[in-house]
Structure 1
Amino acid sequence: MTRGGQGLARVACVVRAGAAPLWWLGVCAAGIGVLLPGLTGRRIGVMAGAVLFIVAAALVAYARRGRYAALARGAARAARHDVLQDRAVTVRNWRRGHGWWLLLAFLAALGSSYAVPAAGGMLLAGCGAGLWLKAAWLGRRERAGEALLWVRVDWLGRGAGRPAGKAVKAYRSTGVAAGDAAPGGGSRRRTAALV
C-alpha cells in the first residue's frame, strides 16, 4: 500500500465466502448419508436434519447482527489511497484459511450419518444457507445506505477471519459502484455494451 493506504475487503464478500462450500458439502454429506440406514432410520434422520437445517440457518443468519449494524453505523469513508481487494481474492483467502475446518466438518457430517442419516449434512447446508441470508441482509443495508461496507484486511487476520470479530474496530465505506462485487457480495452483472 502506498502513502498509508490500507487493504480493504468487502464485509459481505467475507460473510458470503463460506456459504457455497458449506452448502455443497452439506448437500453431498446428506445425499451420501441418506443411503445409510443409521441407528435411527432414514425417516427420523431426515426429519431431524430438516429441523437442524432451519435452526442452523436462522442462528447463522441472525448471529451478531447488532455488532454488524453498529460497525456499519460508525463506518468512515475509505481514504483515497486505500486498496480495495477483489471479490475473488477475498473468497480465495477465506476458503484457503478455512479449508481444514471445512474438510473436518464434512467428515463429521458423514460420520454422523451412521447414527442419524443425513442430519449432519443438512446441518452444514443450513449453515451455508444462513451465511447467504446474512450476506443478503448486508446487501439490503448497503443499498439502503447507498454505501458498500469494507473491513481492513489486517483486522481480519489469518484465514480471512471474522468481519465482526473483536479485532475489527470499525468499517470503512465507499459508493455502491466501488469494487467488483455488488451489494451483498455477489458478482456484478455484466451488461452488454451498446453498439
Structure 2
Amino acid sequence: MGRGGQGLARVAVVVRAGAAPLWWLGVFAAGIGVLVPGVTGRRIGVLAGAALFLVAAAVVACVRRKRYAALARGAARAGRHDVLQDRAVTTRNWRRGHRWWLLLAFAAALGSAFAVPAAGGMLLAGAGTGLRLKAARIGRRERELEALLWVRVDWLGRGAGAPAGKPVKGYRSTGIAAGDAAPGGARRRVDALV
C-alpha cells in the first residue's frame, strides 16, 4: 500500500458478514429451544419468538440508516493506489472479530429456552435477517449510484467493526465492476462478468 494507498473493505460485505452466522445459530437455538417445555410453554414461546424475529429484523435493518445514506452521498473516488480487500477476507475478519459475541449470543439464546422456548433463537435469526436486508438496501443504493461503496480497513478496527461507526469519516467509491462482490455484498456470479 505504498504512495498513500489505503486498504478498503466493501461496506455491504462487512454488513452482510454477520447475517449467515446469526441466522444459522438462531435457527439451531430455536430448534433446540422448541424441545424444552419452558416456563411459558412452547406455544407462547414460538409466538413471542415470531414477534421478536420481526422486531429484530426491522430494527437491525433500519439502525443508522441516515448515517449510511450520508456517508454514501459523500463518497470520494478511491485512489489508484488503494487496495481492495477480497470478499472472503472481509467476511473472515468480521467473523473472527465477533466470534466470542456470536458464541455468547448463542449460549444466551439456548439458556432463554428454559424460560421462553425458541424465542431467543428466533431473535438471533431476526438479527441475521435484518443484516441481510440492510446489505440489500446498500446494494440498491450502489446500483442507483452505479458505484460500489468501500470503507477504510483501519477505520473498522481490529474486530472489523461497524462500517458506519464513529471512527468512519467517509466512504470511497469505485466502478460497479471492481472487486469480487456484487452490489449488496453477495458473491459475484461468473456469468455476470461475461
Question: CA offsets, 1:128-148, max 9 Å, x none?
Answer: 000000000000000011000
Shift of 1:193: 9.5
Provide the C-alpha distance between the structure 2 equivalents of 1:124 and 1:38, rounded to a whole number of angstroms: 18
Task: Please name the residue that 1:184 is paired with.
Answer: 184
Task: Please name the residue that 2:149 is paired with.
Answer: 149
Task: Please name the residue that 1:165 is paired with.
Answer: 165
Q: Read off the aligned partner of 2:163 and give its amino acid letter.
A: P
Provide the C-alpha distance between the structure 1 equivalents of 2:43 and 2:90, rounded to a whole number of angstroms: 40
Task: Please name the residue that 1:128 is paired with.
Answer: 128
- Structure 2 length-normalised TM: 0.98
Query: Which structure 2 residues correspond to residues 104-119 of structure 1 after superposition, within 5 A?
Result: 104-119=104-119
Task: Please name the residue that 2:20 is paired with.
Answer: 20
Task: Please name the residue that 1:61 is paired with.
Answer: 61
Task: Please name the residue that 1:72 is paired with.
Answer: 72
Question: CA offsets, 1:78-98, max 9 Å, x none?
Answer: 000000000000000000000
Task: Please name the residue that 1:30 is paired with.
Answer: 30
Pair 1:193–1:187, CA change in 2 (3 A):
closer
Pair 1:184–1:192, CA change in 2 (3 A):
closer
- Does residue 8 of structure 2 align to residue 2 of structure 1? no
Shift of 1:192: 9.2
Gapped regions of structure 2 (runs ≥ 5): none
Task: Please name the residue that 1:98 is paired with.
Answer: 98
Task: Please name the residue that 1:45 is paired with.
Answer: 45
Q: Which runs of 4+ in 1 moved over 6 A?
A: none
Provide the C-alpha distance between the structure 2 equivalents of 1:192 and 1:89, rounded to a whole number of angstroms: 21
Gapped regions of structure 1 (runs ≥ 5): none
Q: CA RMSD in A?
A: 1.2
- Structure 1 length-normalised TM: 0.98
Question: CA offsets, 1:105-146, max 9 Å, x none?
Answer: 000000000000000000000000000000000000000110
Q: Read off the aligned partner of 2:115 and give its amino acid letter.
A: A
Pair 1:2–1:27, CA change in 2 (3 A):
same
